[in-house]
A and B are shown apart, each in its own frame.
Chain A
Amino acid sequence: MNFVLLFLITIFSLSLFFYGRSKTKSISIEKNIRLNALPKFYGYYLVLWCSIPALVFLLVWSLFEPVIIKSIIIETAANQGAIFSDKNEANLIYEKIKAIHLGTYFGDIDSILKESALAYAKFINLFTNSKVVLIFGIIIASVIYSLKKIKNNNKARDDVEVILKGLLFVSSLIAILTTLGIIFSLLFESIKFFSVINVFDYLFGTNWSPQRAFVRDASSITAAEFEELKDAFGFIPLIAGTSFIAFIAMLVAVPIGLFSGIYMAEYASIKVRRISKPIIEILAGIPTVVYGFFAALTVGPFFRQVGENLGLTVSSESALAAGLIMGIMIIPYVSSLSDDVINSVPQSLRDGSYAVGATKSETIKQVVIPAALPGIIGSVLLAVSRAIGETMIVVMAAGLAANLTINPLESTTTITTQIVMILVGDQEFDSPKTQSAFALGLTLFIATLILNYIAQRAVKKYREKYD
């Protein structure tokens, strides 16, 4: 149905374009007046008025129709005597009703389901009909309005440009809408989570074992279950594991990235730079799932083998393997950014240093790097925020159990790994376990936001200093 409507709207709009163009032409000849805009703008004007209100209405309607129908149907089913204790069962019944309506349901059909399916068919019909009627009403109203306008020889180009400018503005608002969407979707579930689990238990608990939280319904929890839950969602082991792996990654990425950035900016000939810079940047373009595969199947077992030969017990999901590979992934972020930052240090500082007899490396160490330090710190912070938000490498190569350890040969887990582990496969909504993933997501979002903010401020301030 939606496709038919879209098709009709397109046809109407196109025909209105030609109508508007020729109509205004003929008006100008008939009445011998000068039009206020080129005839095609009258065509555009009609097209915009015909399509935009109808399309916006169709979009909003399509977004809300399923939700509204669902709540109505579940209510009618309840009135018919269907029994469901929680949301999951209600969803199940709704799916059954939908399947009966589509003719794809093969289980037993009792009278309640049958009645509800009839009601469902009735409502679908009602909604579809009213949608079509309303859309045509909107099109007719807006077309009549716009036709009246162009008959009065309005300044069509200005009007079209105002509408288009509005469209441009709305497009740029989508970024804000995305942010709001992220914040609300994370907050919504997190608030439910924190209504069961105390924020302090979460932030300072030292035990993370969400699989213990088998409670299905968060609203009816007994005291014993509550005690159990209280201890299951401790954030400390996760933040410890995440920072530990990120720390190992930075141990790899910062020296290699920084030194190659320095070499590229200060020593490398144009030719070397032109070849090696894109190759190093390949490292940033490789999908992280590829690194994860490499870490899990090659590096992890290799470390384990080496450890065995040395008489050490190395977990095949060691923090070392995940951190090392993550560090390699991050090298280009550090090297490109520090290369840029060093390049923007004014030449006069270097010349001054050479003039008093310093060698090139002394100039770099004692003049260029101190001058570029805020920018370099900014780039390292950006790299850290990458490292803690990175998912696939740790999901595939780091462990699942939350160990509080500082031994790089043991396995640890991270925030992102836990989010994936909790949400992969079937989840029941309204269980503290599922909600905890959103709380973790919120924590991650806030942490990366703060890091990015500081880093961008640092880089920006530094740039302003020398520009």
Chain B
Amino acid sequence: MTKEERLKKRHRAEKRFRFYGLTSIFVALLFVVILVQNIFSKGSSAFKKTVITTEVFFDQELLEIQNGASQEEIMEADFYDIMIENLIKAYPAKDREQEDQLLKLFSGDAEIEIKKAFLNDNNLIGKTITLDLTASDDIDQLHKGNYPRDLPEERRRISDFQLVIYDYFVENKKISKNFNNYFFNNGDSRDPELAGIGGALVGSFYSILICLLLAFPVAVLASIYLEEFAPKNKITDFIEININNLAAVPSIVYGLLALQILLATIQLPRSTPLVAGITLALMTLPRIIIPCRASLKAVPPSIREGALAVGASKFQSVFHHVVPLALPGTLSGTIIGLAQALGETAPLILIGMVAFVVDIPSSPVDPSSSLPVQVYLWSESAERGFVEKTSATIMMLLTFLIVMNFVAVYLRQKFEKRWN
């Protein structure tokens, strides 16, 4: 091999090596794109729901209340017969069996939706109005194109006759897509068309709030102590090693801790945002302390010395001068810690947040779900409608995380001073 050949070979190796590096960055970026694209393409349809435009006639004979009935009377009244009578008129069905199939195209909440219309206007008896009633999950998925209609009938959840009705609805423009208010307002449900993340949102909010209230002050005080006051001795070293180790302990271990201490020993109520918040606070604490200490460390000693020189006490120099300067870094570290806590699932599963909770929690001691746990719960469900709901929940979760991270970066870039 001549010199030139060898040089060429070496340059080829150089190019190959660069190519490997570039490819791996590209592959990593590609994964991000695929993941996000996959979730968004599956989830975006969940923000709309399919509704069937139906004429509803409020027949006095089928209702035991009068025009102008009070709110309580309406709430107690039975609208079941009104619902059945009106829904079976949506399509000319021949017999009982066909009527049953027709009724199954509407959601389980059709009665409540009709009742709500009457609640808004209690003079409807004897009148006919047009209502957009929520369609059942099967029709919803079919209308959104998520459900293959060319399967043989026995493998389909929708019968041939129901397809005929659906086509009739489409032809007569009786079926359309509305904004899915249920997805944001409702709690969990066994029916995908009625299931929402309202409860999970509130549960996550309470958990994160409790986590913030507990973790932030303790983390700031602890890092101030370790950075500014702690004597260099074995106890301090031990605390430091401890914090570093805690930050790397798998999150599920915190779940076991909460199960044993918070639930079994102190007997706090299971499945509640209170327990979730405490667990997440214990978990986030070391993850907040580390950036807090870094931002305290970044404040130059001249600031402290200047304060001490004009007669401030050690405390005054720290709390009046060092801490305010370190605050942007501290806050951004806290927000990033909270963002991690928001996406944490495993410890919450262990403290029983997987319970099926329909009601939206009204306080932190009510049983509740949280956004990531809702993702886990729905992803285990067999119904096709839950796939888009899960993806949409993930979209909401990712949006929150992105916003939190942007706020953190903004705080740091806008307010943090650079010392050189």
User: Chain A residues in contact with chain B, CB under 8 A?
Assistant: 63, 66-67, 70, 157, 161, 164-165, 167-169, 171-176, 178-179, 181-182, 185-186, 188-189, 255-260, 262-264, 266-268, 276, 279-280, 282-283, 285-294, 296-298, 328, 331-332, 335, 359-362, 364-365, 382, 385, 388-392, 395-396, 416, 419-420, 423-425, 429, 437-438, 441, 444-445, 448-449, 452-453, 456
Say yes or no: A441 contacts B21, CB within 8 Å. Answer: no
Residues from chain A with Cβ under 8 Å of B1 in the complex: none
Residues from chain A with Cβ under 8 Å of B394 in the complex: 290, 293
Say yes or no: A290 contacts B21, CB within 8 Å. Answer: no
Chain B interface mostly:
helix
Q: Shortest distance in angstroms between A263's beta carbon and chain B's nearest beta carbon?
A: 3
Q: Shortest distance in angstroms between A40's beta carbon and chain B's nearest beta carbon?
A: 12
Say yes or no: A420 contacts B245, CB within 8 Å. Answer: no
Binds A, one of B80-88, B100-108, B138-146, B235-243: B235-243
Which residues of B, 245-261, contact A by the 8 Å Cβ criterion?
245-246, 248-257, 259-261
Residues from chain A with Cβ under 8 Å of B375 in the complex: 287, 289-290, 293
Could you list 9 further interchain pairs (A-B, Cβ under 8 angstroms) beyond the known A292-B379, A294-B38, A297-B379?
A171-B217, A259-B20, A276-B25, A359-B13, A362-B13, A389-B249, A391-B345, A420-B350, A445-B253
Residues from chain A with Cβ under 8 Å of B35 in the complex: 286, 290-291, 294
> A174–B221 Cα gap in the complex (Å)?
11
Which residues of B, 1-35, contact A by the 8 Å Cβ criterion?
10-11, 13-14, 16-18, 20-25, 27-29, 31-32, 35
Say yes or no: A263 contacts B221, CB within 8 Å. Answer: no
Say yes or no: B230 contacts A172, CB within 8 Å. Answer: yes
Say yes or no: B248 contacts A175, CB within 8 Å. Answer: no
Residues from chain B with Cβ under 8 Å of A259 in the complex: 20-21, 23-25
Chain B: residues with Cβ within 8 Å of the partner, total of: 85
Partner of B17 from the list A167, A179, A364 (CB cut-off 8 Å) is A364
Q: List 19 A-B contacts (CB under 8 A).
A: A161-B314, A176-B239, A179-B242, A181-B257, A182-B256, A256-B28, A260-B24, A266-B21, A285-B401, A288-B345, A290-B397, A331-B28, A361-B13, A361-B14, A362-B10, A389-B253, A391-B345, A419-B256, A424-B354
Say yes or no: A298 contacts B282, CB within 8 Å. Answer: no
Residues from chain B with Cβ under 8 Å of A276 in the complex: 25, 29
Top 8 nearest A-B pairs (CB, nearest first) are A389-B250, A287-B343, A263-B21, A185-B260, A168-B225, A361-B17, A171-B221, A391-B346
Q: Shortest distance in angstroms between B152's beta carbon and chain A's nearest beta carbon?
A: 20
Residues from chain B with Cβ under 8 Å of A424 in the complex: 349-350, 354
| Given A276-B29, A293-B390, A297-B379, CB of A171 within 8 Å of CB of B225 | yes
> A452–B246 Cα gap in the complex (Å)?
10
Residues from chain A with Cβ under 8 Å of B248 in the complex: 382, 385, 448, 452
Say yes or no: A185 contacts B261, CB within 8 Å. Answer: yes
Q: Shortest distance in angstroms between A24's beta carbon and chain B's nearest beta carbon?
A: 18
Partner of B21 from the list A182, A262, A365 (CB cut-off 8 Å) is A262
> A235–B356 Cα gap in the complex (Å)?
32
Partner of B256 from the list A173, A255, A331, A437 (CB cut-off 8 Å) is A437
| Given A175-B289, A382-B248, CB of A189 within 8 Å of CB of B349 | no
Q: Shortest distance in angstroms between A235's beta carbon and chain B's nearest beta carbon?
A: 17
Which residues of B, 130-164, contact A by the 8 Å Cβ criterion?
none
Say yes or no: B31 contacts A283, CB within 8 Å. Answer: yes
> A390–B259 Cα gap in the complex (Å)?
19
Q: Shortest distance in angstroms between A330's beta carbon and chain B's nearest beta carbon?
A: 11
Say yes or no: A288 contacts B229, CB within 8 Å. Answer: no
Closest to A160 in B: B315
Residues from chain A with Cβ under 8 Å of B17 in the complex: 361, 364-365
Say yes or no: A175 contacts B246, CB within 8 Å. Answer: yes
> A429–B256 Cα gap in the complex (Å)?
13
Say yes or no: B285 contacts A178, CB within 8 Å. Answer: yes
Residues from chain A with Cβ under 8 Å of B413 in the complex: none
Partner of A287 from the list B242, B314, B372 (CB cut-off 8 Å) is B372
Say yes or no: A287 contacts B222, CB within 8 Å. Answer: no
Residues from chain A with Cβ under 8 Å of B345 in the complex: 287-289, 391-392
Say yes or no: B253 contacts A280, CB within 8 Å. Answer: no
Partner of A182 from the list B11, B253, B379 (CB cut-off 8 Å) is B253
Q: Shortest distance in angstroms between A163's beta carbon and chain B's nearest beta carbon?
A: 11
Partner of A263 from the list B25, B250, B266, B390 (CB cut-off 8 Å) is B25
Residues from chain A with Cβ under 8 Å of B379 in the complex: 292-293, 296-297, 396
Say yes or no: B398 contacts A290, CB within 8 Å. Answer: yes
Residues from chain B with Cβ under 8 Å of A332 in the complex: 28
Q: Shortest distance in angstroms between B262's beta carbon and chain A's nearest beta carbon?
A: 10
> A151–B204 Cα gap in the complex (Å)?
50
Chain A interface mostly:
helix
Partner of A448 from the list B243, B250, B266 (CB cut-off 8 Å) is B250
| Given A290-B39, A290-B375, CB of A391 within 8 Å of CB of B250 | yes
Say yes or no: B251 contacts A260, CB within 8 Å. Answer: no
Asked if B56 is at the interface of the complex by the 8 Å CB criterion, the answer is no
Asked if B420 is at the interface of the complex by the 8 Å CB criterion, the answer is no
> A12–B298 Cα gap in the complex (Å)?
39
Partner of A286 from the list B29, B315, B380, B398 (CB cut-off 8 Å) is B398
Which residues of B, 285-339, contact A by the 8 Å Cβ criterion?
285-286, 289, 313-315, 339
> A418–B376 Cα gap in the complex (Å)?
16
Closest to B35 in A: A294
Closest to A167 in B: B221
| Given A172-B239, A449-B245, CB of A285 within 8 Å of CB of B32 | no
Asked if B175 is at the interface of the complex by the 8 Å CB criterion, the answer is no
Say yes or no: A420 contacts B349, CB within 8 Å. Answer: yes
> A425–B259 Cα gap in the complex (Å)?
12
| Given A66-B266, A181-B261, CB of A174 within 8 Å of CB of B21 | no
Say yes or no: B225 contacts A172, CB within 8 Å. Answer: yes
> A361–B15 Cα gap in the complex (Å)?
8
> A413–B218 Cα gap in the complex (Å)?
38
| Given A169-B225, A298-B38, A420-B350, CB of A287 within 8 Å of CB of B401 | yes
Residues from chain B with Cβ under 8 Å of A169 in the complex: 225, 229
Say yes or no: A176 contacts B242, CB within 8 Å. Answer: yes
Say yes or no: A260 contacts B246, CB within 8 Å. Answer: no
Asked if B267 is at the interface of the complex by the 8 Å CB criterion, the answer is yes
Asked if B172 is at the interface of the complex by the 8 Å CB criterion, the answer is no
> A70–B264 Cα gap in the complex (Å)?
13
| Given A167-B221, A188-B260, CB of A157 within 8 Å of CB of B313 | yes
> A188–B265 Cα gap in the complex (Å)?
12
Q: Shortest distance in angstroms between B334's beta carbon and chain A's nearest beta carbon?
A: 15
Q: Which residue, of A263, A267, A292, A365, has the highest number of chain B Cβ atoms within 10 A? A: A263
Q: Which residue, of A171, A429, A437, A448, has the highest number of chain B Cβ atoms within 10 A? A: A171
| Given A420-B349, A424-B354, CB of A67 within 8 Å of CB of B285 | no
Say yes or no: A285 contacts B250, CB within 8 Å. Answer: no
Which residues of B, 203-218, contact A by the 8 Å Cβ criterion?
217-218
Say yes or no: A178 contacts B246, CB within 8 Å. Answer: yes
| Given A175-B289, A441-B252, CB of A286 within 8 Å of CB of B343 | yes
Closest to B225 in A: A168
Residues from chain A with Cβ under 8 Å of B390 in the complex: 293
Asked if B181 is at the interface of the complex by the 8 Å CB criterion, the answer is no
Residues from chain B with Cβ under 8 Å of A328 in the complex: 28, 31
> A209–B245 Cα gap in the complex (Å)?
32
Closest to A288 in B: B345
> A182–B254 Cα gap in the complex (Å)?
7
Say yes or no: A168 contacts B401, CB within 8 Å. Answer: no
Asked if B224 is at the interface of the complex by the 8 Å CB criterion, the answer is yes
Residues from chain A with Cβ under 8 Å of B350 in the complex: 419-420, 423-424
Closest to A438 in B: B256
> A382–B349 Cα gap in the complex (Å)?
25
Say yes or no: B313 contacts A175, CB within 8 Å. Answer: no
| Given A175-B285, A175-B289, CB of A283 within 8 Å of CB of B260 | no
Asked if B276 is at the interface of the complex by the 8 Å CB criterion, the answer is no
